[in-house]
Amino acid sequence: MSHANDPELLRRLRRADGHLATVVRMVEEGRDGLVIAQQMQAVIKALEKAKQMLILDHIDHHLGAAADSLPPEVQRRIAEFREITKYL
């Protein structure tokens, strides 16, 4: 599935958008810095998860299908490459 149509990716991005709108509103209202920072962290986390999904989709789309016909060692390396993306 293309990331352009991925409902999970879109859901995560919309969640980040909602969190960010909340942060903007909180700043405008002069809310407490700690509470604002907590909401900012929610925005960052939502964007990080969306980015990770997008990167994994990209890897799977461009390398996943081709990997089936590659030698096992190359397949293993692609799997390791995919696994390391969780640290992005």
Query: Can you give the residue range of the structural domain that contains 66?
Result: 3-87
Cα dihedral 33→38→44→46 (10° resolution): -150
For residue 34 the two structure tokens come to 């700690």
Instruction: Give how many domains the chain has, as a whole number.
Output: 1
18-76 pLDDT, tens digit each: 999 999 999 999 999 999 999 999 999 999 989 988 888 887 777 767 777 788 888 88
Distance of CA 9 to the CA centre of its chain: 7
For residue 69 the two structure tokens come to 């016909």
**Position 56, amino acid:** L
Q: What is the pTM of this model?
A: 0.72
